[in-house]
Amino acid sequence: MLCVTIGDDDSVTDIVQLGHASPPSNKSMNQPVQQQLPKHLTLHIGDGEALLERVTQTSEQELVLAPVELHRRNIQRRLRESQTPKDGIQFTDPTGVANQLLGVDSNPPKTLDRIDRLSMIRSIHSEDEVSLRSPAVPSDPQGIEQVRTEIENVTGFHPKRLNILETVGNGLTPPLDSDAAELVETATTIERTLREHTSKAVSGVESIRRATRRIRETDGEIFQQAYPNIDRISLVGVSSVAISYIDLLHALLATVAVPVHIHFRAGTGTYLAERVSQLFDIANPGTVVFPS
């Protein structure tokens, strides 16, 4: 089963919920699951202590990506309670990393916020600039933005993932097949039109994709320049799998010899961990079907 949760806030884009949860194992994944993963990637399930132990037992510098502010505060609180120095840990989120990387070459791009996007979509829709008239497509700007966000979060507008989604949609029973096709077409059309109307990044997710491409284009050098002292990267508080985060880590793992740890939350963690390797099974992460 594949369920999609639509998030309104660019900073908390938890999107792909893959199936039903299995009981937490409270340990790192290994054996068959670990063997299918990229080199230097380790998965943890319900094992928050592992991060704290690494910080206290080594002198290495760790970059901790916490997409949700609450998770970041919880870790910081536990460090304070244990009187653990925070000198070896740097907190941010994937969008913050993207802005840092893109700022190496020049000023990081400004990003449209949700209100800006809704305003632009309202203008595009009211002026019939693009055809969005379909029974399957919402008529209001918020509904259209939700469709765009959902398809972006599931596919990243990567050509292979869009093709897979279209193939799945074509296999549905009529009229669901045509409805699915119209939703995918609406999302790509709106994204393309928004790009044509602004020099800003359409969303924080687009900034992450841009940074992902720059990592690949520079063979990881841009990360080394932005974070010269980082020895390890952790993505924490993961209860669902964001495609943009996976692609960012994919590019880093392919170009930078820095260990990466993903800490899944208990509950959904076992199921998600067993499927992470499928999400890494794609060429050229960060690629989109639009001119980039």
What's the mean per-residue pLDDT of the chain? 83
The CA distance from 71 to 278, in Å, is: 26
Q: Could you tell me how many residues make up the chain?
A: 292
Among the residue ranges 112-121, 150-159, 235-244, the one predicted with the least confidence is 235-244
Q: State yes or no: pLDDT of 17 exceeds 80.
A: no
Instruction: Answer with the one of 199, 232, 262 that is the final residue of a domain.
Output: 199
The residue out of 167, 199, 231 marking a domain boundary is 199
Alpha-carbon span 213 to 215, nearest angstrom? 5
pLDDT digits (tens, 9 = 90+) for 139-151: 899 999 999 999 9
Alpha carbon distance, N-terminus to C-terminus of the chain: 32
22 & 166 share domain:
no
Residues 168 and 236 in one domain: no
* Three-state SS letters, the chain: CEEECCCCCHHHCCCEEECCCCCCCCEECCHHHHHCCCCCEEEEECCHHHHHHHHHHCCCCEEEECCCHHHHHHHHHHHHHCCCCCCCEEEECHHHHHHHHHHHHCCCCCECCHHHHHHHHHHHHHCCCCCCCCCCCCCCHHHHHHHHHHHHHHHCCCHHHHHHHHHHHHCCCCCHHHHHHHHHHHHHHHHHHHHHHCCCECCHHHHHHHHHHHHHHCCCHHHHHHCCCCCEEEEEEECCECHHHHHHHHHHHHHCCCCEEEEECCCCHHHHHCCHHHHHCCCCCCCCCCCC
Instruction: Note whether 231 and 252 are same-domain residues.
Output: yes
In a domain? residue 286: no
Distance CA 194, CA 46 (A): 40
Q: What is the CATH number of the domain that holds 251?
A: 3.40.50
Does residue 7 have a pLDDT over 60?
Answer: no
Mean pLDDT for the stretch of residues 246-273 = 91
**Do 93 and 65 lie in a common domain?**
yes
Tokens of 137: 């497509």
Tokens of 106: 């020049």
Co-location of 35 and 148 in the same domain: no
Inside any domain, residue 99: yes
Q: Is 27 inside any structural domain?
A: yes
In the numeric block, which tokens belong to residue 213?
A: 């491409």
Number of domains in the chain: 2
Do 142 and 168 reside in the same domain of the chain?
yes
Give the distance, in angstroms, between the CA of residue 223 and the centroid of all CA atoms in the same chain. Answer: 17
Tell me the mean pLDDT in the region 158-180: 95
Q: Do 192 and 222 reside in the same domain of the chain?
A: no
Given a contact cutoff of 8 angstroms between Cβ atoms, the answer to whether 286 and 156 are in contact is: yes
Residues 6 and 81 in one domain: yes
Domain residue limits at 128: 114-199
Instruction: Give the residue with greater pLDDT, 267 vs 21.
Output: 267
Single out the residue in 159, 182, 199 at which a domain terminates: 199
Supply the pLDDT for residue 48.
66
Please check the confidence at residue 286 and state whether its pLDDT lies above 90. Answer: yes
161/195 same-domain check? yes
- Say what the pLDDT of residue 191 is: 96
Which residue bears the tokens 């669902």? 240
For the four alpha carbons of 51, 37, 165 and 122, in that order, the dihedral sign comes to positive
* 288 belongs to a structural domain: no
Give dist(CA 47, CA 65) in Å, integer. Answer: 16
* Spatial contact of 286 and 209, defined as CB atoms under 8 Å apart: yes
Give me the mean pLDDT over the 227-243 stretch.
89
Q: What confidence category does residue 28 fall into, taking pLDDT thresholds of 50, 70 and 90?
A: low
Structural domain includes residue 290: no
Identify whether residues 17 and 143 lie together within a single domain. no
Residue 64 domain flag: yes
**pLDDT, tens digit, for every residue of 40-76?**
999 988 766 777 777 777 778 999 998 887 777 787 7
Does residue 220 sit in the same domain as residue 238? Answer: yes
Is there a single domain that holds both residue 137 and residue 252? Answer: no
Is residue 55, in this structure, part of any structural domain at all?
Answer: yes
Q: Which two tokens stand for residue 123?
A: 């203008």
Q: Give a yes or no: residue 253 inside a domain.
A: yes
